[in-house]
Structure 1
């Protein structure tokens, strides 16, 4: 079974007319190169289970699914696509709302569970949000111990 991010990566590949570079995927999903390769590996494992064509990779160009594979995958995946995948902006808005509405400490694990992203992604979102708020004169404190 694919997780939300892997499914979202697959959806990007389904919608792409040409190759998608690793850098484009890294930027779009705000994750590392290794995470993208890990997601592609999960996607290919799922495609293998479904007896569908793998995601193709061409050095210097990126990842690609041919039109026939796209049609087959689209039919198969229609019932497993998640209804929502939060973008970077949406996650930061969510974290901001949690901070404002709760008025207390919020744990990293809670944010990971609620947004379904990794610890590093949550920490990066907090860092980015903190920098945005500093420019507006609002402080956001984070403690490894307390959240």
Structure 2
């Protein structure tokens, strides 16, 4: 099993970042170059929800689909855990795929935070393990959106 991990510092509070990420449907409007669409097939964002994410591949207009089941959505710990389901565009790459995102406040600077993204997976064949660190720009785009939104108020 491969375990991949990335940590990204953000200039917004953990609660702001968590609330934005927790509302997956809003992400398509914030980072349309990455998330094309979010559809809830079962549930509405709580644990047990099955969602279909339309994702744009880097530098391409092609959209691929990730089907996920939310295993944990916890406001108190600002944690979400999801499992990639078999019938999606990524199922030929991994026999097991679980992602966990945690949003941590920086105690000395409450207006700043760290998001930790950890992925446990079993790649199939020559499939490379996912690289959560490659998605730092996504978090920086979300951060920029939240900072700009703060200045508009």
Same fold, judged at TM 0.5 (above): no
TM-score, normalised on structure 2?
A: 0.27
Higher fraction of helix: 1
- TM-score, scaled relative to structure 1: 0.28
Larger relative strand fraction: 2
